[in-house]
Structure 1
Amino acid sequence: MVIATDLPSWLERPAKRRLRVYAFDPRSSVTLETAICNDTVIELPWETPWEDALGPGPCNDYIEVVDYDPACGLFYAPVDLDHPHLLAQDGLPQAEGQPQFHQQMVFAVAMKTVRVFERALGRGVIWARTGGVNSPGNYVKRLRIYPHALREANAYYSPDKTALLFGYFKPDEVPGQDSAWVFTCLSHDIVAHETAHAILHGLQPRTIDASNPDMLAFHEGFADIVALLQHFTMTEVVEQQIVASSGSLRANGLLTGIAAQFGHATGRAGALRYALQLIADEARGAGPVRKLEDTTEPHDRGQFLVAAIFDAFATIYERRTADLFRLADYRPGTSDTLPIELARRLAREAGKTADQVLRICVRGLDYLPPVDNSFGEYLRAIVTADADLVPDDPLRYRVAFADAFRKRGIPVPGCISYAPSSLMWAEPDLSDLTHLATENQVTGLMQGALARLKFGVTFDGKDDGDAYASSQSGKVAGRNLREKAIGIIEHNQVALWQWLNEPSIDPDTGAPTDEKRSSEIDREWESLLGIRMVTDDHPTIALSEKTGKPAYSVNTARIARRQGPDGQELHQLIAHITQRRRGYFDKALQDKAEAASAGNGTRTEPPAQDFWFRGGATVIVDLRDGRVRRIIRKRIDDGDRLVRQRAFHTGEPLGMAFARRTGPREPFALVHRA
C-alpha cells in the first residue's frame, strides 16, 4: 500500500496567521473590570511566496526578534510559530512569565503596525539606513527587536542599531501599586509606539534631528497617536468600553490611555499618558492651561499633537454616529443602559473612523518638508494629502482636523486662515521661469528624469543575475519583493541625482548646450528646490568632493500607489532633495564664515560647524501624467529659520542637551528614560 505524504495541490495556505496577545498589558488581566476584554487575537497575512518564510525568533521579511538578556547573560530559546501545536491554538496563550510569549507579543504587534502603515502609504515599509541618511547601499532589511534588552524602566527605538530595545523592571514597594516585574514588551501600546518611531524614521530620516522644539515632540506625539488609534481596531474591546462609557469616546479609560501598567508602576495614578488629558484641562478651565509655546519636554509638547488629532477623531466619530443615537433615542453619556445592538454598531463605526483617521495621518507624512518640520506644517501635509486623494469631503474631515489644531493654539506658518483651502500646499509656480517652463508648464518639468526611473518589478530578461529578470526564470524560489523594492529605490535615487547634475541637452542635436544656458536652468532649479546647485553665495554650504559644486543629496525616491475609501487611485513619486550648510552658535562667526570668499573664484574653507543647518524640498510627481504636483520646500538660504535654529540649539532643555548626553544617533534613549 502506498501512502501519499505530500499535501494535495488544491489545498491552499491559510489567509491569516492568528496570534494571541494582550489587548493592553498584563495588569488589565488581573483587574476585574478589564480582564474580560484584555485577551485578544491579532490576525496577520500569511507569508507570501515572494517574501522570506517565517522562522524561529520569530523572524520574517521585516522583523527579527533576538531575545538576549544582558542582565542575565543568556539567550532565551526562540519561539517557532510554525510549530503544529501553536498553529492549532493561535500561538502561545497569554503568559506574563514566559519569554517565548514575550517574543510572540512583540512580533505580532509590530507586524500589525507595519501592515497599517503599508495600507495607508501604498507601498512597503522600509527601515532607515545604517550609517546615516546619505549612505547608499546600507538599507537594513530587518528591524531587530530585543524583548529583554534593558533591566530598567525604559523602552526605545535605536536609530544607530535599527532596533527596538525593551526594558523590564521591578517597581518600588509602594502601597496600592504592583510589585511584580513589569515587562515593557508586554504593553501593546509601548510596542506599537516604538514600532511607529522606527517606521517614521525610515520614511522621514531627518525627523530624528532635533532642529526645533517640534521635531522630537512630533515623533513622540505621532507614535502615541498610532498606539491610541490601534485600540479601536479591537472591536470586542471597543464594544465593552463603549458600554462602560455610555457611548462616548471622551472619557478617560483603557481606550484613551497609553501604557496603563507602566504608568502605575512608575508612580502615576493611571496610564502613562491620556489622549484627553489636555482637552479635559481646557474644558475645566481651572487654573492656568498649558500653552504650546511654554512646553518644551518632547512628550509633554507631543500631547498637543495627540490632543488635536484625537479631538478630530472623536468629532468625526460623533458626526458619523449622531443618526444612530437619534434612531435609538439615546443620549451619549447618560446613566441609561446602552442597548447591546447600538453598542455593536457604535464599535464598528469607531473602528472604521479610527482606521480612516490613522490612514489620513500616515499619508500626510509624505507631504512634509524633508527637514525641520513643525506641527503646523504637519496639518498642512494632512490636509493636502487627503485632498489630493479624496477631493470630495462631505463629512468635513479636513475641517475637523483644522479646527482641532486651531483649538490647541498650534500655529501654521505661511497661512492666514485655518480653512482647508488655505492650508493646502500650493502647486509649483513657474511664472518667473523662462528655461524650465514648457508649453505644458509643470507637466513637462521632470519628463527627462521619469524616463530613467523604475516604477515596479519587470520581467524583461535583461539581467541574468536577477530572479525577476524573466517570467521563465529558474530562480522563482529566490524572488523577494522587498529586496527588489529596495533596489528600485536606490536605482531611482542615483538616477534622479545624476539627472539633476547633468548639463542641459539640446532636444534637436542631443548635444550639451552652452554653459550659460545650463547655469540658468540650474538657477531655476535652485529657486524651485530651495537649495544651491551652482551658485556659491553661501560659502558655508558643504561642497561635493566629486564636482566641487555645492553638495546636495537625493535622500529617497519612492513610488506610492494609494487607494482612497471609495476606490480612488493615486500613483506618485515622492523624492527628498536636501542640502546642508554650516551653522555656528556665534552670529558674528556665522557672518564671518559667510563672507569668507577670496573673490577670485575660490573660497576659504570655513571653520568646523557647531551644527548643520539643512534645507531642501519634497517633490511629489503624479505618475498618471508626469505632472509635478507639489514642491514642499525649506530653503537653505532662509536667514530667519537659521536664527531660530541657533536659538534652539543654544537653549535648554532640548537642543544640544540631547546631543551632549545621547549622541546624534540615539535621541530616544534619554527622552524615554526621562
Structure 2
Amino acid sequence: MNIYKSRIADLLRIASNGSGILPEGELHPDLVERLAQEASKSAGHTLNMCIRALDYCPPMDITFGDFLRAIITADSDLVQEDDRNYRLAFIDAFRKRGIYPEGIRTLSEDSLRYTDLDIGYIDKDEQIASTRLSAVIDPETQRLLGIIYKFLRGYGDVIKYITDRKEIYEKTRDYIAGKYVKEGEVIMGLHARIGVKFNNSNAFSQITGLAFVGHYADLGIRKSRRSTGPRFQIQNLRLVSRVGPGNRQVNQVVFSIAMHSTVKLDGDTPVFYEFPVPKKNEPYTHHEIPEGFVELSGGCTLIFDLDHLKLRYAVSKPLLETGAEGNPSINMTRLKRLVNFYQQNFANEFESYFSSPGQMNLEPFAFLHQH
C-alpha cells in the first residue's frame, strides 16, 4: 500500500489542486484510469521482487526473515538506485509486524543484504583474485572452484538458447547427474564433481555450512555410494538472466545442496546414528530413522555470478557450527529447535504474549493477518 501511495502522490496533488484532499463526487475517468494503472504497476513490481527473491532463499527451513533478506539482496543486485523506496517499504512492512531476521541488529538495507563473498578462482589460464574470506579460501580451493565455475559457465552457454521446457529439463538433469554413454557426449555431473573435489574440504564446509569434512560419519551422515565423502543432494540447477532498469543485466547460475544428519539429544548432548558403510556402486538401501532419532537437514544455495566470474552468495541453513576450539560440530541451535518441534514443546516469545496457558499457536502467520 505504501508503494502504491508513493506512486500516486503526484496525481492526487494535481487532482486536488495541491491540497491532497479530493473533491466530493465521482473522479474523472482519466484519473481513475491512471490510478488503476499505477495500482497494477505497483502490484506487478511487488510480485516480481518476491519471485526474484526465491533464488536467494536457503533450500529449506525458510523463515519470513530469510525471505526479507532475499528480497532486499535480489532487488539490490538488479536495481542499484531504489528511487521509489520499494525496499524501504518492504522493510517497514516487516518491521510493523514484528518480523526480524535472526542475527540482524538493525533493519537497514546494508545490514539485511547478504554479504557478497566475492570469491574468485585460480586456474592455469586466468586468475580472479579473492578479496573476501581470504583466511578461509586457500589457493587449492580457489582452483577447485575454478573447475566448478567453468563447468557452470558451460552449462549456461548450452542452456541459454534453449526454449523448450522439456529439453531444458533433460539437459539440466544431465549436468546434475552426469551423462555417460558408450558413443557420443560424456558429461561428468555437478554432483560427482563436488563429491570428488570437496569430499574433505574444510574451506568448502565453512562456505556452505555442510559437513564436507573427514569425520562426517561421526556426525550421523551417510557415506556416498559413489565417492569417499558424505552423501548429499543437488536439489536444483538453473540459469538466471534478468534485465533491470537502464538495461542492467544480471547473469547467474544458481544451485542448492542438501545434506542430512540422523541424531538425537541425550540431555544437551547429541548422539549420532551410525549407518552401515555402503560398498561402492552398491544399490541404494533405504534405512528407516530409528525411534528416538530425528533427521536434521542442512542446505546451502550457491549463486555464481557469470558477469564478474565469482561465487557471490552462499545462503545457508547450516548443518554445522564452529566450536570454541575451531572444530566443526553439529548445529545445536537448529537441532534443539527440531527436537522441540517433534516433542511439541513450542515455547517461544510469540506464545508467551498471545497464547493462553496450555494452548499452542502453531500458525502465527494466520494470526498476523487477523490483527
Paired residue type of 1:550: P
Matches within 5 A, 1:653-664: none
Distance 1:393 1:633 in 2: 27
Paired residue type of 2:337: R
User: Does the C-alpha gap of structure 1 residues 592 and 391 become closer, same or farther in structure 2, counting only changes over 3 Å?
Assistant: closer
Q: Deviations over 1:58-83 (max 9, x none)?
A: xxxxxxxxxxxxxxxxxxxxxxxxxx
Decide whether the 8 Å contact of 1:446 with 1:626 is kept in 2. Answer: no
- 1:569 equivalenced with 2:249 (yes/no): yes
Deviation at 1:545, TM superposition (A): 2.7
Q: Which residue of 1 aligns with 2:212?
A: 533
> Which of 623, 640, 646 is the aligned partner of 2:339?
646
Distance 2:4 2:312 in 1: 31
Distance 1:480 1:380 in 2: 31
User: Does the C-alpha gap of structure 1 residues 546 and 618 become closer, same or farther in structure 2, counting only changes over 3 Å?
Assistant: same
Q: Which residue of 2 aligns with 1:68?
A: none
Deviation at 1:335, TM superposition (A): 4.6
- 1:632 equivalenced with 2:315 (yes/no): yes
Q: Which residue of 2 aligns with 1:496?
A: 190
Q: Which residue of 1 aligns with 2:235?
A: 555
Matches within 5 A, 1:396-435: 396-428=85-117, 429-435=132-138
Matches within 5 A, 1:359-398: 359-398=48-87
User: Does the C-alpha gap of structure 1 residues 385 and 447 become closer, same or farther in structure 2, counting only changes over 3 Å?
Assistant: same
Distance 1:557 1:595 in 2: 31
- 1:356 equivalenced with 2:45 (yes/no): yes
User: Does the C-alpha gap of structure 1 residues 401 and 558 become closer, same or farther in structure 2, counting only changes over 3 Å?
Assistant: same
- 1:485 equivalenced with 2:168 (yes/no): yes
Matches within 5 A, 1:103-502: 314-329=1-16, 331=20, 335-428=24-117, 429-436=132-139, 446-453=145-152, 454-457=155-158, 481-494=164-177, 495-502=189-196
- 1:594 equivalenced with 2:276 (yes/no): no
Equivalences, count: 295
> Which of 294, 305, 311 is the aligned partner of 1:622?
305
Decide whether the 8 Å contact of 1:436 with 1:524 is kept in 2. Answer: no
Paired residue type of 1:359: N
User: Does the C-alpha gap of structure 1 residues 353 and 437 become closer, same or farther in structure 2, counting only changes over 3 Å?
Assistant: farther
Instruction: Give me the CA root mean square deviation.
Output: 3.1
Decide whether the 8 Å contact of 1:530 with 1:633 is kept in 2. Answer: yes
For structure 2, the residue ranges without an aligned partner over 5 or more in a row are 118-131, 178-188, 276-286, 321-330, 347-365, 367-371
Decide whether the 8 Å contact of 1:596 with 1:606 is kept in 2. Answer: no
Q: Partner of 2:302: helix, strand, or coil?
A: strand
Distance 1:426 1:480 in 2: 33
Distance 1:568 1:480 in 2: 22
Q: Partner of 1:452: helix, strand, or coil?
A: helix
Distance 1:332 1:579 in 2: 58
Deviation at 1:339, TM superposition (A): 1.8
Distance 2:40 2:307 in 1: 32
User: Does the C-alpha gap of structure 1 residues 544 and 329 become closer, same or farther in structure 2, counting only changes over 3 Å?
Assistant: same
Distance 1:545 1:344 in 2: 62
Q: Partner of 1:531: helix, strand, or coil?
A: coil
Deviation at 1:400, TM superposition (A): 0.7
Paired residue type of 1:496: L
- 1:608 equivalenced with 2:302 (yes/no): no
Distance 1:392 1:352 in 2: 18
Paired residue type of 1:628: L
Distance 2:246 2:340 in 1: 47
Decide whether the 8 Å contact of 1:583 with 1:646 is kept in 2. Answer: no
Q: Which residue of 1 aligns with 2:355?
A: none
Deviation at 1:333, TM superposition (A): 7.7
Decide whether the 8 Å contact of 2:251 with 2:305 is kept in 1. Answer: yes
Q: Partner of 2:266: helix, strand, or coil?
A: helix
Q: Deviations over 1:596-618 (max 9, x none)?
A: 79xxxxxxx99626432111210
Q: Deviations over 1:161-195 (max 9, x none)?
A: xxxxxxxxxxxxxxxxxxxxxxxxxxxxxxxxxxx
Distance 1:575 1:546 in 2: 20
Deviation at 1:645, TM superposition (A): 1.6
Higher relative contact order (CA 8 A, sep 6+): 2
Normalising by structure 1, report the TM-score.
Answer: 0.41
For structure 1, the residue ranges without an aligned partner over 5 or more in a row are 1-313, 460-467, 469-478, 505-517, 598-604, 654-670
Distance 2:148 2:26 in 1: 62
User: Does the C-alpha gap of structure 1 residues 434 and 403 become closer, same or farther in structure 2, counting only changes over 3 Å?
Assistant: closer
Q: Deviations over 1:492-545 (max 9, x none)?
A: 3232222212248xxxxxxxxxxxxx84xx121111111112322543122223
Decide whether the 8 Å contact of 1:533 with 1:552 is kept in 2. Answer: no
| Percent pairwise identity | 29
Decide whether the 8 Å contact of 2:263 with 2:271 is kept in 1. Answer: no
Q: Which residue of 1 aligns with 2:202?
A: 523
- Report which of the two structures shows the higher radius of gyration computed on alpha carbons: 1
Matches within 5 A, 1:46-57: none
